[in-house]
Structure 1
């Protein structure tokens, strides 16, 4: 996630970091070269004058704009739903830790349980990003529990199971009222529901065929556009074509990034920061001093 103060409007015109220019530079150079070749040939292709003007491109551009609008909206819906799911994980983690601190009988050691909630968030992040299951779990779980996670297909779910077993043990020895245990189980259910929502987003990408159709249509549009503009604007054709293609290619690149909001691209969710925030909240509830919050790197990217 790019986190930076909004620059001055003039500097914003030339800002490079966060503009996706580095991702579409090759496409831009290709379209620019095609437009220059069309201008040099005066709109001819193998000595045949291509009979195009700006009229059909206006109609096609409207259709492409609608398709791109659907594509970016669909990707952003996935991104925003993922952010809401992680927001619910933060809230349910705090609620569950508060109940563990106040509802379990005095004298019970609830620290392993509360740190286990933080371990769930870290394990879910690892699971969504394809990282090793034990990354970031140091000091959060007992060694025997951590060892079970390495070969597991769904480590976060095993942590939820371990937390539920802890509630059962406390209820069995009379340290947790059954009604309060049921309330805490509901919080575990909410964490499991959020985990399932994240897995649904991760395992259900947008239809690939739609991306192929949109990609081909935008390239064909940008390659043919110089033939429709060269007679009207002449030497300005490459500039206008690059501007139009930048809009299409940048929107396509952005939608590709946020379609999978759990990755490490600059515009994806800052899961490391979210997980660190959850752990910091829980450690403060235990009376401990949390680590300093993560800061963006030199490119203003918060991972």
Structure 2
């Protein structure tokens, strides 16, 4: 995720990080070269004059803009839903930590439970980013549980099971009353729901046909556009076509990038920072020293 102060409007015109220019540069160069060739040949293709005007492009542009808008909205809905699910993980982790610290005894078992919540968030991030299941779990979970998690397919679910077993043990030992245990079990259910929602987003991409239609339409439109403009604006055709193609190609690339919000691209969610925030919040509730807050790198990128 890119985090930076909004630059001056002049600097904003030349920003590269986040503009998607590096990703679509080859496409832009192809369209620019094609436009220059059309201008040099005066719109002729193999001695045949391609007679196009701006009218069909106006009609196609409206339809294409509607479809492109739908694709962007669908991708952003997935991105924002993923962010809300991670917000729910933070809220429920805080609720469970507060209830464990206030309602359960003894103190040493409370700490193990609270750090287990941090372990759940960490394992959830590892699964969504296809990292080794036990990454960063040392010191958060018992070693026998870390060994089980290392070879598990659904590691966060195993950690939720362990957290539920902790509740059962406290309830059986009389260290947690029935009402509090029921409330905490509901919070564990909400964590499981957030995990399932993130798995649904990660494992169910938008239909591939949407990407194919959008990609073909963008290229078809931009490759024909020089023939429709060359007779009216002449040498300015490559500049205008590049501007139009930048809008279409950049929006297509952005929708493809945020379609999977759990990756490590510049516009994806900063899962490492979210997990670090949960860790810091729960450790503060335990009264322990806080780890350094994550900061963006030199490119303003926070992973």
TM-score, normalising length: structure 2: 0.99
The alignment's C-alpha RMSD in Å is 0.7
Conserved 8 A contact 2:85-2:197: yes
Other-structure match for 1:138: 138
Other-structure match for 1:96: 96
Residue 108 of structure 1: CA displacement? 5.4
Residue 291 of structure 1: CA displacement? 0.5
Other-structure match for 2:154: 154
Give the Cα–Cα distance (whole angstroms) in 2 for the partners of residues 41 and 107 of structure 1.
81
Give the Cα–Cα distance (whole angstroms) in 1 for the partners of residues 33 and 202 of structure 2.
38
Give the Cα–Cα distance (whole angstroms) in 1 for the partners of residues 139 and 297 of structure 2.
26
Tell me the secondary structure at the aligned position of residue 109 of structure 2.
coil
Residue 105 of structure 1: CA displacement? 3.1
Greater mean alpha carbon deviation, residues 106-115 or residues 285-294: 106-115
Other-structure match for 1:202: 202
Other-structure match for 2:85: 85
Residue 285 of structure 1: CA displacement? 0.7
Conserved 8 A contact 1:108-1:175: no
Give the Cα–Cα distance (whole angstroms) in 1 for the partners of residues 107 and 46 of structure 2.
88
Q: Deviations over 1:197-249 (max 9, x none)?
A: 00010111001011101100110100000000000000000000000000000
Give the Cα–Cα distance (whole angstroms) in 2 for the partners of residues 246 and 5 of structure 1.
24
Residue 76 of structure 1: CA displacement? 0.2
Residue 151 of structure 1: CA displacement? 1.2
Other-structure match for 1:128: 128
Conserved 8 A contact 1:266-1:301: yes
Give the Cα–Cα distance (whole angstroms) in 1 for the partners of residues 251 and 173 of structure 2.
58
Q: How many residues align?
A: 303
Residue 109 of structure 1: CA displacement? 2.6
Q: Does 1:269 align with 2:269?
A: yes
Give the Cα–Cα distance (whole angstroms) in 2 for the partners of residues 119 and 31 of structure 1.
49
Runs (4+) of structure 1 exceeding 4 A deviation are: none
Other-structure match for 1:282: 282
Give the Cα–Cα distance (whole angstroms) in 1 for the partners of residues 285 and 207 of structure 2.
44
Give the Cα–Cα distance (whole angstroms) in 1 for the partners of residues 257 and 136 of structure 2.
25
Give the Cα–Cα distance (whole angstroms) in 1 for the partners of residues 182 and 282 of structure 2.
21
Conserved 8 A contact 1:121-1:275: yes
Residue 48 of structure 1: CA displacement? 0.2
Conserved 8 A contact 1:31-1:222: yes
Other-structure match for 1:111: 111
Other-structure match for 2:5: 5
Other-structure match for 1:31: 31
Tell me the secondary structure at the aligned position of residue 248 of structure 1.
helix
Q: Deviations over 1:38-95 (max 9, x none)?
A: 0000000000000101110011011111111000000000000000000000000000
Other-structure match for 1:234: 234
Give the Cα–Cα distance (whole angstroms) in 1 for the partners of residues 240 and 225 of structure 2.
9
Tell me the secondary structure at the aligned position of residue 15 of structure 1.
coil
Other-structure match for 1:50: 50
Conserved 8 A contact 2:101-2:107: no
Other-structure match for 2:167: 167
Conserved 8 A contact 1:53-1:228: yes
Gaps (5+ residues) in structure 2?
none
Tell me the secondary structure at the aligned position of residue 268 of structure 2.
coil
Other-structure match for 1:183: 183
Other-structure match for 1:259: 259
Tell me the secondary structure at the aligned position of residue 264 of structure 1.
coil
Gaps (5+ residues) in structure 1?
none
